[in-house]
Amino acid sequence: MTRYVMVADLRRCVGCQTCTAACKEGNATPPGVQWRRVLDIERGTYPDVQRVFLPVGCQHCDDPPCMEVCPTTATRQRADGIVTIDETLCIGCSYCIMACPYDARSLTGAAAYAFGNEPIVSEAQRGTRPAGLATKCDFCAARIDAGVARGLVPGRDPAASPLCVNACISGALSFGDRDDAEGPVARLLAENRWFRLHEEEGTGPGFYYLWDREAP
Amino acid sequence: MNAAARRSVPSFCYNCVAGPDLMRVGVEDGIAVRIEPDERAAAIHPGLGRVCVKAFGLIQKTYNPHRVLQPMKRTNPRKGRDEDPGFVAISWDEALDTIAQRLRDIRGRGLLDEAGLPRLAATFGHGGTPQSYMGTFPAFLSAWGAIDYSFGSGQGVKCVHSEHLYGEFWHRAFTVTADTVHTRYLISCGNNAEVSGGVCAVRRHADARLRGIRRVQVEPHLSPTGACSAEWVPIRPKTDAAFLLALVHVLLHEAARERLDLGFLRERTASPYLVGPDGYYLRETASGKPLIFDSLAGRAVAHDTPGALPTLEGAITVGEAVTHGPDGEVTPWRDVAARTAFAVMADSLKPYTPEWAGAICDIAPATIRRIGQDYLDHACIGETIVVDGETLPFRPVAVTLGKTVNNGWGAYECCWARTMLAVLVGALEVPGGTLGTTVRLNKPHENRLKSVVPGEDGFMAAHFNATRSGEWAARPTGRNAHRSLVPIVGNSPWAQALGPTHLAWMFATDAPKEWPEPPPPEMWFAFRTNPAISFWDTQRIVGTMGRIGFIVAFAYTMDETNHMADILLPDATDLESTQLIRVGGTKYIEQHWDHQGFALRAPAVAPRGEARDFTWIATELARRAGLIERYNAALNRGAAGAPLAGEGFDFSLATDVAHDTETIWDAVCKAASTALSGGGETHDLAWFREHGHHVVPFRREDWYLTPTMARLGLRYELPYQERLLRTGQELGRRLHEQGIHWWDEQLGEYMPIPVWHDVPARWERAVRAAGADPAAYPLWGITTKTMPYTTGNNAGIPLMAEVGRNLRGQGCVVVNATTAAALGIAEGDWVEVRSVTGTTRGRAALVQGCRPDTVVIPGQFEHWKTPVAKDLAWPSLNPLVPLSLALTDATGSGADVVRVALARCAPPAETLA
């Protein structure tokens, strides 16, 4: 079996938001919608303070709460673990947005553009999504599928990997098949301490955080 | 869309000095739609062919609807922030002819005005990076002749100024870095590598963290770099010199001598040089060479005596010697007691205990002591490493400094102590240690090792401005008086722009009475620069700008500086224009490559509107101003980045005709690739457009300067600063001969061994000098960078604002939560930060990771003209910081720090609405 997962090495992440920008540009998300973003978290009391950068987005759960509540089956889970939204079926009811413990989904609204009411040339070229759709990270599924079709390996070959991973300048983000024991993602998980967000929810996130300290 | 409609165009991003980095531009149907990493460059680019968040703003930058897309001229002769310039569109012919006519008129009257100052001035923005976007404009500037580059856009106050000057003097280090790929213990005083170090630094440091590097971040607030460090030491602002001097003390006085690298100190430094009672080196009478005490012969001998084993410490008497004081004064000495430079240093540093520093820095003495000991424990003295087949010392400890630490008062002490921490353990310019990266005051820029030539006294040659009587520039030759006031900056092509550039703005309205009133320039070229925002006391800068005769601004959008312009010229931007630049080798910050070569930025898309390639603009200006032959000759000499003729090749351009942009860059591409490959490969413009870059291996040994110093038998000019002592005394005499005493405080910085003075008190005195009570300004105001906005002219790019807001404090006033509570300030409240110079307002961001006595204002904002940016309503430290001689150090440098008051305030009216 193949189970695609994301691994974020928090020891590497510097919070630069390059992944955020690459995702926004590559997926043409409108202003305010960030399928990938990096949280800037502080804990402790001066002078004993930690500041941690935490990349977040859809966790592509084993048991996605969003899918469970979707009344139209627009939200689905592929055999490789990627959770997708069929835009032709989505009715924008927002149940999934409410159900997601990770605040990973957005509902498209009226068309919005970087510089105001009119699209700039590049935005017009990319087009806009209709209002009333739930959107989120899909691990760049189209790139993965196109890459795999060409014999490429997701997580190893950039043309078959998510844009955020390709763009990450610190090497914090890794992607790949967790079930490929010889693959880089499986090795990272085998060789390092890790945690997942909201483990107590029982969602089985497909997003792992490498961290050598207490979970932020 | 068919595949033919999709293209991926190789390019580069050099929007900050931490580049250049290689990338690609995704184009669909002739429209740039995305920035992509250049995976094909991963094997040669230390950042794996990736670019940082800034580069992703280039798409919006290209299609920004607020761009200036046609030449414009001013119709309202009155200039000022509140004056509407009345810009109207004109043709390129009218714009260029108007400029050229003025240029010809100036040339007809002479390049210098009645005060001996250039009539033409030019200012370019961040760290020389505009040169990678201005095509062949450097050839135009070369063809012109004397130009005043002294009107800075932040240089001196916004750069790491003292580090530039002392770094290059001591170890050819215009910027300084750790050898991060080898370093195991790194003390970083405010160096914000994870934010402004570029993709190469971010990757290297991330790898180092996983390797186990221990980085101690010493800074008043917890930056992203602090967040990613093993330890955060929240130091009181502007006390880093005390901290670093205490670390030197720990090495000198709390560790056995044998734990230092005594061999390095004896052979590669001036530690054994003998110092006489008057503070100058004791020298051999006949040769004038500095003396050392040869422990084998039992007597003083010239420093370069073969076979001598120099003494580092001990009671020494010299039978006969001379000292060379200021102005060639020679003093003879007989049976004179001498101390080695090392001993002088050790004695001077004795009072600087961790307990002493702890009280100044607000750091536990035990912490300072532990850091000093840890540094020493990690130094691996005696160990070696093989690099490129050469066995080199391995010293995996380093110290780096950040902005505000390495500029302004106290920076000399910091730079000296930082360099001495490396010297004492032999970690200067060796694997694992503290390294320089590039040179700008010395030449050649592309290879700092070749800039090393033997000079006086066993040291590298240094190129100070003359201070001796009759040789000193008694009248300023530029409006910032860099040759008259700052000897160490020299007078190379980069020197003036690195001089005290705020003095040009200050003297424009408040000139020293001892010197001729400096007339404003008759014409000023401005490109990728916005001093109306990016300087101190920005209100005053704007007022001064209005006095400049005729301003030609290469304009991307309207902004606060080109609001004052007479002509706006729309240049083709990053994705629209052509330029070949050098990449690799060792460049600024942490650009240490195993390759070197050239990369092309080719147009990914056609220029918008009537924007024109900068090379076309430069050529047309040269042609219309009657300079085409000189311009082409400059191109042939290499003004576009590579000489067009060399051994075995000649791609020179005919000098009597104007060449089109493609012809020029085709010749540059061929010449650069031919020279790079030693004649093995010649690649034309079409080849570079397809492949993007051409590189050859760069020896890793050449990352380090010490092997070159050893080959040439040279010593680092440390620890003792005899040259600076003499220079300061001579400069003082020259100034005093003219009755000038307003630089006396700065003269005090010419110390042979730095002595602590109460650095932070200078800012309190500045408050008092302004007629205010320091108690009314109880906090420190400082600034910090965030990656989306650090340089790059990104303030008007909405994508940067959106992703930047993910970072805590972006666009806010960052305040310690306890301090805020005491002032009744809650998260998100509007607050006013006030200094004796000005005020700024923004929302409060409450954090724990900030000293209670410090507020932090990220970035440089408060735009009032730049579209998008002016609507952000983000605060800025710049209006709060005074342009002040009293806060200018001897290098002409200031620091982004100011005493402030903080209070809640009403929201702006538009927010209430």
Mean pLDDT of B709-738: 98
**Number of domains present in the structure of chain A:** 1
Residues of chain B contacting residue A26, judged by C-beta atoms under 8 Å apart: 34
Question: Is A215 among the domain residues?
Answer: no
Question: Is B666 among the domain residues?
Answer: no
Residues of chain A contacting residue B798, judged by C-beta atoms under 8 Å apart: 31, 114-115
Question: Is A154 among the domain residues?
Answer: yes
**3-class DSSP string for B758-788:** CHHHHHHHHHHHCCCCHHHCCEEEEEECCCC
Distance in Å, alpha carbon of B215 to nearest chain A alpha carbon: 13
pLDDT > 80? residue B155 = no
Distance in Å, alpha carbon of A44 to nearest chain B alpha carbon: 7
Return the pLDDT at A213.
78
Return the pLDDT at B381.
97
Distance in Å, alpha carbon of B203 to nearest chain A alpha carbon: 5
Domain encompassing residue A78: 4-210
Mean pLDDT of A164-192: 97
Q: Do A26 and B34 touch (CB under 8 A)?
A: yes
Q: Are B127 and B17 in contact (CB under 8 A)?
A: yes
CA distances in angstroms from A193 to A196, A214, B374, listed in the order given: 11, 10, 27
pLDDT > 90? residue B703 = yes
**Comparison of pLDDT for B76 and B539, the residue scoring more:** B76
B711 and B783 together in one domain: no
Question: Is A10 among the domain residues?
Answer: yes
Dist CA B377 CA B397 (whole Å):
9
Interface of B with A in 819-858 (CB under 8 A): 847-852
Task: Identify the residue among A16, A118, A140 best suited for mutation to test binding to B, counting B beta carbons within 10 A and taking the highest.
Answer: A16
| B909 pLDDT tier (thresholds 50, 70, 90) | confident
Q: Are B172 and B439 in contact (CB under 8 A)?
A: yes
pLDDT > 80? residue B157 = no
Give chain B's count of helices (H) and strands (E): 29, 34
B792 and B714 together in one domain: no
Q: Do A31 and B798 touch (CB under 8 A)?
A: yes
Query: Out of B83-92, B424-433, B624-633, B874-883, which region has the weakest mean confidence (pLDDT)?
Result: B874-883
Q: Do B804 and A17 touch (CB under 8 A)?
A: yes
**Number of domains present in the structure of chain B:** 2
CA distances in angstroms from A95 to A33, A51, A65, A129, B290, listed in the order given: 18, 33, 10, 19, 83
Distance in Å, alpha carbon of B798 to nearest chain A alpha carbon: 6
Q: Do B226 and A16 touch (CB under 8 A)?
A: no
Percent of chain B with pLDDT over 70: 99
**Comparison of pLDDT for B160 and B23, the residue scoring more:** B23
Return the pLDDT at B910.
65
Of B207, B804, B818, the CB nearest to A46: B818
What's chain B's length in residues?
913
Dist CA B851 CA B856 (whole Å):
10
pLDDT > 80? residue B913 = no
Handedness of CA B168, B443, B503, B85 (dihedral sign): negative
Mean pLDDT of B470-495: 93
Question: Is A216 among the domain residues?
Answer: no
Q: Own/partner pairs for B308-314, CB < 8 Å, 24+ apart?
A: B309/B266, B310/B266, B310/B271, B310/B272, B310/B340, B311/B272, B311/B340, B312/B257, B312/B262, B312/B265, B312/B266, B312/B271, B312/B272, B312/B340, B312/B342, B312/B343, B313/B257, B313/B340, B313/B342, B313/B343, B313/B346, B314/B340, B314/B343
Burial class (CB in 10 A: 0-12, 13-18, 19+), B389: exposed
Nearest to A64 by CA among A95, A29, A89: A95
Q: Which amino acid is at B756?
A: W
3-state helix, strand, coil in chain B (%, to 5): 35, 20, 45
Interface pTM (ipTM) of the complex?
Answer: 0.97
pLDDT in tens, B763-805: 999 999 999 999 999 999 999 999 999 887 899 999 999 999 9
Q: Do A17 and B807 touch (CB under 8 A)?
A: yes
What are the two backbone dihedrals, phi and then psi, of residue B262, each rounded to the nearest 5 degrees?
-65, -35
Question: Is B192 among the domain residues?
Answer: yes
Q: Are A14 and A91 in contact (CB under 8 A)?
A: no
B713 and B763 together in one domain: no
Mean pLDDT of B266-287: 98
Question: Is B87 among the domain residues?
Answer: no
CATH number at A196 reads 3.30.70.20
Distance in Å, alpha carbon of A197 to nearest chain B alpha carbon: 19
Q: Are B838 and A66 in contact (CB under 8 A)?
A: no
Dist CA A32 CA A24 (whole Å):
10
Q: Which helix (H) or strand (E) holds B495?
A: helix B495-498
Handedness of CA A5, A9, A10, A16 (dihedral sign): negative
β-sheet bridge partners, residue B855: B781, B815
Domain encompassing residue B776: 759-912
Dist CA B692 CA B9 (whole Å):
8
CATH number at B851 reads 2.40.40.20
Residues of chain A contacting residue B227, judged by C-beta atoms under 8 Å apart: 14-15, 50-53
Question: Is B474 among the domain residues?
Answer: no
Nearest to B525 by CA among B552, B485, B546: B552
Q: Do A21 and B57 touch (CB under 8 A)?
A: yes
Q: What is the DSSP string of B822-877?
A: HTT--TT-EEEEE-SS-EEEEEEEEESSB-TTEEEEES----SSSTTGGGT----S
pLDDT > 60? residue B216 = yes
Q: Do B849 and A49 touch (CB under 8 A)?
A: yes
Residue in chain B closest to A30 (alpha carbons) equals B799
Residues of chain A contacting residue B228, judged by C-beta atoms under 8 Å apart: 11, 14
Mean pLDDT of B56-74: 98
B711 and B820 together in one domain: no
pLDDT > 50? residue A23 = yes
| B502 pLDDT tier (thresholds 50, 70, 90) | confident
| B2 pLDDT tier (thresholds 50, 70, 90) | low
pLDDT in tens, A89-120: 999 999 999 999 999 999 999 999 999 999 99
Question: Is A29 among the domain residues?
Answer: yes
Question: Is A166 among the domain residues?
Answer: yes
B324 and B386 together in one domain: yes
| B830 pLDDT tier (thresholds 50, 70, 90) | very high
Which residue is it, tokens 């010199």?
A: B241
Inter-chain Cβ pairs, chain A and chain B, closer than 8 A: 164
Mean pLDDT of B186-202: 97
Question: Is B193 among the domain residues?
Answer: yes
**Comparison of pLDDT for B151 and B568, the residue scoring more:** B568
Nearest to B642 by CA among B609, B614, B677, B607: B677
Mean pLDDT of B195-219: 97
Question: Is B271 among the domain residues?
Answer: yes
B714 and B775 together in one domain: no
pLDDT in tens, B389-425: 999 999 999 999 999 999 999 999 999 999 999 999 9
The rounded Cα B382 to chain-centroid distance in angstroms is 34
CATH number at B264 reads 3.40.228.10
Question: Is B481 among the domain residues?
Answer: no
Return the pLDDT at B633.
98
Looking at every residue in chain B, the average pLDDT score rounds to 96
What are the two backbone dihedrals, phi and then psi, of residue B686, each rounded to the nearest 5 degrees?
-60, -40
Return the pLDDT at B1.
57
